[in-house]
Structure 1
Amino acid sequence: MTVKKTVAGLALAGAVGLVLSACSSSDSPLTSGGGGAATGTINTELWYAPTVFDPSQASADADTDVARLGFDTLLRKGESSGYIGGLATSWKADSNTEYTFDIRDDATCSDGTAITPSVVAASLDYLATSKNSSAATNKISIFGSGTPTFTPDDDAGTLTVSLSEPYSELFAGLTNATSGIICPAGLDDPKGLAKGTVDGAWSGPYTLTGLKAGVSATYTLRDDYDAWPDWSDVTGTPAKTINITVSTDSNTSANLLTSGGIDVTRFYDSNAERFTSGKGYTYVTMPSSAYTLILNEHPGALFADDQDLRTAVAQAIDPDGFNSAGLDGLGTSLTSVDPSTVSCTIDGSSILPGVDVDAAEAKLSGTTIRLLAMSNWDPAIDYLAEALRAAGATVKVSTPDAAEWQTQMRTEPDKWDIALNATSVSNPLSETIATYVGPTSDQGGRNIGGADNTEGYQHLQAALAASDEDTQCSEFEAAQTSILTRADMVPLITDTHYVIARDGFATSVFSGYWDISSMRITS
Structure 2
Amino acid sequence: MNIKHHSVTRRKVIVAAALLSAAGLALTGCGATGSAAGTAAASDGVINTELWYAPTTFDPALASGSSDVTVARLGFDTLLRKGETEGYIGGLATDWTAKSGTEYEFTIRTDATCSDGTVITPSIVAASLEYLATASDSSAQASKATVFGPGTPSFTADDTAGTVTIDLTEPYSEVLDGLTSEVTGIICPAGLADLPGLAAGTVAGAWSGPYTLADFAAGVSATYTLRDDYDAWPDWQGVTGTPAKTVNITVSTDSNTSANLVASGGIDISRFYDSNAQRFVDDSAYSYVTIPSSAYTLIFNQNPGTGSVFLDRPDLRKAVSQAIDKEGFNAAGLDSLGTPLLTVTASSVACTLDGSDLLPAFDVAAATKVLTGQTIRLLAMSNWDPAIDFLAESLRTAGATVEVSALDPADWQAEMRTQPEKWDIALNATTTANPLSEAISTYVGPTAANGGRNIAGVDNAEGFADLQAALAATDPAEQCSAFEDAQRTILEDMSMTPLITDTHFIIARQGYASSVFSGYWDISSMRITS
Same fold (TM over 0.5): yes
- What do the CA deviations read for 1:118-145 (whole angstroms, capped 9, x no partner)? 1111111111111122111111111112
Kindly state the Cα deviation for residue 315 of structure 1 after the two structures are TM-superposed.
0.8
Amino acid at match of 1:84: I
What does residue 413 of structure 1 align with?
420
What does residue 9 of structure 1 align with?
17
Residue ranges of structure 1 left out of the alignment (5+ in a row): 13-34
**Judging changes above 3 Å, is the alpha-carbon distance between structure 1 residues 400 and 83 closer, same or farther for their aligned structure 2 residues?**
same
% identical equivalent positions: 69
The answer to whether residue 279 in structure 2 is matched with residue 274 in structure 1 is: yes
CA contact (8 A) 1:11 1:421 kept: no
1:186 pairs, out of 185, 191, 196, with: 191
- What do the CA deviations read for 1:356-382 (whole angstroms, capped 9, x no partner)? 111111111111111111110010011
What does residue 294 of structure 2 align with?
289
The answer to whether residue 388 in structure 2 is matched with residue 381 in structure 1 is: yes
The answer to whether residue 355 in structure 2 is matched with residue 364 in structure 1 is: no
Structure of higher RCO (CA pairs closer than 8 Å, 6+ residues apart): 2
- What do the CA deviations read for 1:210-236 (whole angstroms, capped 9, x no partner)? 111111110000111111111111100
Q: What are the residue-to-residue correspondences of 1:62-101 with 2, within 5 Å? A: 62-101=67-106
CA distance in 1, matches of 2:409, 2:41: 33
1:443 pairs, out of 441, 450, 459, with: 450
CA distance in 1, matches of 2:162, 2:259: 48
1:55 pairs, out of 48, 51, 60, with: 60
- What do the CA deviations read for 1:264-295 (whole angstroms, capped 9, x no partner)? 00000000000101121111100100000001
Amino acid at match of 1:329: S
CA distance in 1, matches of 2:195, 2:67: 20
**Judging changes above 3 Å, is the alpha-carbon distance between structure 1 residues 157 and 36 closer, same or farther for their aligned structure 2 residues?**
farther
CA distance in 2, matches of 1:47, 1:53: 16
Amino acid at match of 1:516: I
Kindly state the Cα deviation for residue 402 of structure 1 after the two structures are TM-superposed.
2.0
The answer to whether residue 495 in structure 2 is matched with residue 488 in structure 1 is: yes
What does residue 21 of structure 1 align with?
none
- What do the CA deviations read for 1:159-206 (whole angstroms, capped 9, x no partner)? 110001111100000000000000111111111111111111110000
Residues matched between the structures, number: 499
What does residue 402 of structure 2 align with?
395
SS at match of 2:89: strand
What does residue 429 of structure 1 align with?
436
CA distance in 2, matches of 1:148, 1:407: 24
The answer to whether residue 177 in structure 2 is matched with residue 172 in structure 1 is: yes
CA contact (8 A) 1:11 1:422 kept: no
SS at match of 1:507: strand
What does residue 240 of structure 2 align with?
235
Kindly state the Cα deviation for residue 428 of structure 1 after the two structures are TM-superposed.
0.7
Residue ranges of structure 2 left out of the alignment (5+ in a row): 1-10, 21-39
CA distance in 2, matches of 1:136, 1:486: 26
SS at match of 1:5: coil
Kindly state the Cα deviation for residue 36 of structure 1 after the two structures are TM-superposed.
6.3
CA contact (8 A) 1:36 1:42 kept: no
CA distance in 2, matches of 1:36, 1:196: 32
CA contact (8 A) 2:19 2:143 kept: no
SS at match of 1:491: strand
CA distance in 1, matches of 2:285, 2:125: 43
State the TM-score, normalizing by the size of structure 1.
0.94
Kindly state the Cα deviation for residue 405 of structure 1 after the two structures are TM-superposed.
1.8
Q: What are the residue-to-residue correspondences of 1:100-249 with 2, within 5 Å? A: 100-249=105-254
SS at match of 1:63: helix
CA distance in 1, matches of 2:104, 2:477: 21
SS at match of 2:357: coil
CA contact (8 A) 1:150 1:160 kept: yes
Aligned CA RMSD, in angstroms, stands at 1.3
